Amino acid sequence: MKPEAKISLLKKEIEKLKKLVYLDALTKVYNRRGFLEIGGNYFKSFREDRPACAGRGKRRKNGITSLALIFLDIDDFKKINDKYGHQKGDRVLKQLAKILQSILRKTDLLGRWGGEEFVILLVNVNKINAQKIAQKLCQLIARTRITGLYLTISLGLIIPKKEKTLTMIINKADKLMYQAKKRGKNQICFLS
């Protein structure tokens, strides 16, 4: 085999391995590791691009000048698994991931954080549009039959300000999501 062919084959194998490492096997969206890796790169770019644009009202070409993060959880998911079984629960997670992907833009990042929790990084979106996207997600899921069931989600939405890491933002959004649950579920708690 020629060296060029070996290199090409190795590159293909590396891409396959990246998918195994970064994608959730069930939902085919980023897993926690993949989200933190790719999202961390987005956040780093955001931190680097934002000062260059501050005060000028201009956006650096192809730069990331604003971010919003949504942390969401399916309300009462344990009841679905208990009543219908884990296979049904898995189908719900797969279908929900597809619905989320269909609403998000190609520039946004979606990951399964764990269990029935998902995290979304909205790129180059202002506060008002981030709130609209979160509201749209909440309303759409509540009125859509997913594998024959109606379900709801609780969301935490944060617009990063002074946070130094993506993990700090995720933790704050996670706490906001729990506030949404305490307030009655099927809603958004927002911090800007």
Distance (Å, whole) CA 166 – CA 84? 36
DSSP symbols for 69-97:
EEEEEETTHHHHHHHH-HHHHHHHHHHHH
Active site residue: 13, 37, 116, 163, which one? Answer: 116
Rounded Cα–Cα distance for residues 70 and 86 (Å): 25
Tell me, yes or no, if 116 is annotated catalytic: yes
DSSP state of 120: E
Asked if 13 contacts 7 with a C-beta cutoff of 8 angstroms, the reply is: no
Provide the 3-class DSSP secondary structure of residue 165: coil
Cα–Cα distance between 70 and 191 in angstroms, integer? 11
Residues marked active site are found at 116
